[in-house]
């Protein structure tokens, strides 16, 4: 049966370490993904939240243009796209729509829809598009989407999302593992 997938972009379809080289260069750091223990990056840099937000806003376009795909994401999304609908739902701002669509095109990733909501509150979008399952890397989003929408949420394991999970949020360490879980769920 055809299902509609809600899929986060950054840290889910793109490699969760995409931003690290930019952070290291701009702030003279030497961090790796293992050092990112929480979603908020501000504590890692020695500037104010406001200054960091400004830097991020200025650098988002180039970071998103250059983001590498997560390992296995393309292969598995391409398989799912044959039988299902792929709705990408991201906290990126809507001014990044063109850059985002160009990235999908360049990476030969097909999509049914890309919704850039400009906020981390994905529940409204998940409800509006009536997605049947969600794929995320942000812990609180995953839990809230599962609890509010009553759908399974696949959480891609990263050092910044290792808090406990309710049943119904499934932690996976790779796209291959996500594929196995979802194929079983589809049966
Ligand atoms: Mg994300």
Q: Are residues 133 and 159 in the same domain?
A: yes
Look up 10 and say whether it is catalytic: yes
Distance from the alpha carbon of residue 52 to the mean position of ligand 1, in angstroms: 18
Residue 71 is a catalytic residue: no
Our count of domains for the chain comes to 2
Q: Identify whether residues 62 and 98 lie together within a single domain.
A: no
87 and 164 housed in the same domain: yes
Using the predicted structure, report yes or no on whether residue 4 has a pLDDT greater than 90: yes
Asked if residue 143 lies in contact with residue 171, where contact means CB atoms within 8 angstroms, the answer is no
Residues 24 and 110 in one domain: no
**Ligand 1 midpoint to CA 99 (Å):** 17
Of the chain, the end-to-end C-alpha distance in Å amounts to 9
Q: How many other CB atoms sit within 10 Å of the CB of residue 152?
A: 18
This model's pTM is above 0.85: yes
- Same domain for 55 and 83, yes or no, is no
Which candidate in 10, 40, 132, 140 is catalytic?
10
CATH of the domain at 123: 3.40.50.1000
pLDDT per residue over 13-60, tens digit each?
Answer: 999 999 999 999 999 999 999 999 999 898 888 899 999 999 999 999
Give the relative orientation of helices 49-66 and 20-27 as an angle to the nearest 10 degrees.
Answer: 130
Domain around 86: 4-15+68-186
pLDDT digit string (tens) for 109-126? 999 999 999 998 899 999
Indicate whether 51 and 73 sit together in one domain: no
């Amino acid at each position: 049966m055809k299902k509609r997938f809600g899929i986060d972009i950054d840290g889910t379809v793109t490699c969760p370490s995409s931003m690290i080289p930019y952070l290291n260069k701009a702030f003279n750091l030497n961090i790796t993904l293992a050092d990112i223990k929480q979603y908020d990056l501000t504590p890692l840099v020695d500037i104010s939240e406001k200054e960091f937000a400004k830097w991020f806003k200025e650098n988002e376009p180039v970071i998103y243009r250059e983001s590498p795909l997560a390992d296995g994401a393309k292969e598995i999304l391409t398989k799912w796209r044959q039988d299902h609908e792929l709705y990408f739902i991201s906290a990126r701002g809507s001014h990044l729509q063109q850059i985002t669509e160009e990235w999908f095109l360049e990476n030969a990733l097909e999509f049914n829809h890309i919704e850039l909501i400009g906020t981390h509150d994905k529940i409204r979008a998940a409800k509006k598009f009536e997605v049947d399952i969600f794929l995320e890397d942000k812990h609180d989003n995953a839990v809230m989407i599962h609890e509010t929408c009553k759908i399974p949420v696949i959480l891609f394991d990263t050092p910044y999302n290792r808090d406990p999970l309710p049943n119904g949020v499934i932690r996976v360490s790779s796209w291959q593992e996500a594929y196995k879980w979802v194929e079983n769920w589809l049966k």
